[in-house]
Structure 1
Amino acid sequence: MPLLANPYPHVMNSLNGPTSPPVSYLVFYSDVVDGQMWCPDCRAVEQIVKDLFDASDKPKAIIYWVGDKPEWRTPNNKARVDWNVQSVPTILRIENGKEIARIVEDDILDTTSMQDFMK
């Protein structure tokens, strides 16, 4: 399934729906500002995320944009409140509608950590 960059509410709801795949991923990224994500760590992992998820034969992954820098830094940011995300990038592994693992920032760049996370 392709990497879904525009998670309309029904797409987010599909993480826990009857037709959702058994395993999905939720990728938390900074918003794009002036043509690129404002977070340098997000930019650093962008190609890895595309390689892992952006093809029809890859696992389902949804990008969750956390906002621009001021919005992200607020304690009531929706990603912080709804998903307990404290840094970007963060990737959650969702199985049968429940988070079972997460990988954060530099660990995404570590090949061994990322392979373990994807198993």
Structure 2
Amino acid sequence: MAACEELSVSGFEEFSRAVEQHPGKTIFAYFSGSKDAEGKSWCPDCVRAEPVVRAGLKHVGEGCVFIYCQVGERSYWKDPNNDFRKKLKITAVPTLLKYGTPQKLVESECLQDNLVEMLFSED
């Protein structure tokens, strides 16, 4: 039985809707460069971090929500006025965060098992 509900969304609007649909729940979000038709992201760090983050999910408590969010094409991501940068203050991908808290891991931090586990398991 999965302890955590997992959602996969693409873009800021879908992300916002997913958050709105889970009021009062602990939400973890992983932001990654979008994937092409072959399932490969334009962001090499995101490709390397994804298995580490997925392995860390086993430390998540009951009733949490994990949102895997593709931020869009590289050109959109690089725009300093994109919604992820402006509204969520996300400055780099990959980023893993506990939504609504200051807790987050950015870029190479997402590759460290111990940091990922700590973010997922802390109350």
- Residue 92 of structure 1: how far off its partner (Å): 1.1
- Residue 13 of structure 1: how far off its partner (Å): 1.0
Give identity over the alignment, percent: 22
Query: Please, which of 32, 52, 56 is the counterpart of residue 56 of structure 2?
Result: 52
Matched, 1:110 2:115: no
Paired amino acid for 2:92: S
- Residue 29 of structure 1: how far off its partner (Å): 0.7
Structure 1 residue ranges without an equivalent (≥5) = none
Superposed CA deviations along residues 40-63 of structure 1, whole A, max 9, x for unmatched, are 0100011122223389x6841112
Does the 8 Å contact 1:4/1:62 carry over to 2? yes
TM-score (norm 1): 0.78
Matched, 1:28 2:31: yes
Give the aligned partner of residue 92 of structure 1: 97
Distance in structure 1 (CA, Å) of the matches to 2:56 and 2:64? 8
Give the aligned partner of residue 37 of structure 1: 41
Does the 8 Å contact 2:71/2:77 carry over to 1? yes
Distance in structure 2 (CA, Å) of the matches to 1:38 and 1:4? 21
Q: Secondary structure at the match of 2:28?
A: strand
- Residue 34 of structure 1: how far off its partner (Å): 4.1
Does the 8 Å contact 1:3/1:50 carry over to 2? no
Number of aligned pairs? 111
Q: Secondary structure at the match of 1:114?
A: helix
Does the 8 Å contact 2:34/2:42 carry over to 1? yes
Distance in structure 2 (CA, Å) of the matches to 1:47 and 1:3? 15
TM-score (norm 2): 0.76
Matched, 1:3 2:10: no
Does the 8 Å contact 1:4/1:63 carry over to 2? yes
Structure 2 residue ranges without an equivalent (≥5) = none
